[in-house]
Amino acid sequence: MELWLLRPDGSAEKVHEVNALLFVTDYNDGKIVGQGIFKGDPRAYEIFIYDIKRGEFRVYTPKDGSVNKAPKVKGDLVLFATTAFGNEKLMIYNLSKEELEEPKFAYNDYEKYDFVEYVNFNWTEDGRIWFIGKRNGRTKAFVDGKEVPMPEGFSSNMAVFYEKVYITHSSLTSPPKVYEVDLKTGKRRVVLSAELPEDVASRFGRVSFIQYESSDGIKIPTYVIESNVAPKPGPTIVYVHGGPWAEVVDGWNVLIASLVVSGYHVVAPNFRGSTGYGENFRRMDIGDPGGGDLDDVVNAAKWARKSGLASRIAVMGYSYGGYMTFLATVKRPEVWDAGVAGAGIVDWEESYKLSDAFFRQFIDTLFGGRRDLWKDRSPIHFAERLKVPLCIIHPQNDTRTPLRPVLRYVMKLLELGKTFELHVVPDMGHVIRSIEDILKIVMPAIIFLDKYLTSEG
């Protein structure tokens, strides 16, 4: 991959080229820093530092095989998160001394919490460190080790101006807000918000964080969002997040919210491969996508029925969640009453051929180099097993998960006489960027679900 420097005047310059998958996470004091796979282990990330003046590219890891991410640079100090010592931990690499140091904080509030991951962190202008730690999909924020008092939920970013903090916050039932918090007094106030109409807000029911066992005994952390306008047992969606290296947190998710207010309970499993529950858990789907993670999703549906939450169940997801929906409806069709697949992959081999170098490397990393699994984990080879109505929603200009293989899958379904809908979204790429994009996905999905879940087809 190539490393480019974009200047304020719009000009750009290629400054370095390396045969590795990498991501830039910060630029400051004449240095570009980021993370990448430089040592050939797809389960590990090293950090890199590129000194523009010296033209020097340096790769660093405190321990081979560890995951090191999101470095931020200030002078000769690089702050990053690492799993080199067990659970994720913040550390500082001193470039001039070539030494690893632990951050020092003026306060010890953070010691009360056992964080699994760090959502965000950085330096303040005066050299203090702020960070947002996460456990079970909920966060706590700190400046120089002192807790920033916030409601339960999820924060992803913050800015510190002396003793004032401006921090984002949301939950699964509350849209994003920006709070101003006074570090001296602990007082907070909302400075920017998006409030729901009362008749919409009243549709949200209880939010629960639960863990159920998958078939092999692994516990799967899950958020359950009940709808106040759905009976119990009632129509339920098993929502499969994208990524797969992502998660459902206690933060605003417009797709989940749309389903809940439309009268559906939602079960959102953080299946193996999800972030937020430790590096060992995240690595579990490498070399096995569509295997153990699919089993986790199937067991989410079983839990929903056994607990009395669900009557009829659909599986639904976008991107990797769309792929899992395609696969779940042909590999385990007996579990579902319907499926909604958004921007999913149906054929790994063809997708690989159509992909750019970046996505090819992602596929190789995800499968751990096991191309022998491509056929077995590609839904297109099992189309005849589809037994439930399927709604396919796919962007026309998607370069990440191209439309062409999906159209071949659709032709197979047509020839087999299967029940399905196809919605091709014109002038849209893979990433959901606007309210209009969301509506183009949510509206056909809900109309379809109303037909096959609430009216029982």
Active-site amino acid positions? 319, 398, 430
396 CB-side CA count, 13 A:
8
Written as six digits, the tokens of 83 are 């799993």
> Which residue type does 116 have?
V
Written as six digits, the tokens of 282 are 């995240």
The closest alpha carbon to 309, from 403, 217, 236, 229, belongs to: 236
Contacts of 106 (CB under 8 A, 6+ apart): 128, 144, 145, 146
User: What is the distance between the alpha carbons of residues 381 and 223, in angstroms, rounded to a whole number?
Assistant: 32
- List the strands of the sheet with 138-143, edge to edge: 117-123, 129-135, 138-143, 146-148
Other CB atoms closer than 10 Å to residue 333's CB: what's the count? 15
User: What is the distance between the alpha carbons of residues 211 and 219, in angstroms, rounded to a whole number?
Assistant: 6
Contacts of 99 (CB under 8 A, 6+ apart): 93
DSSP 111: G
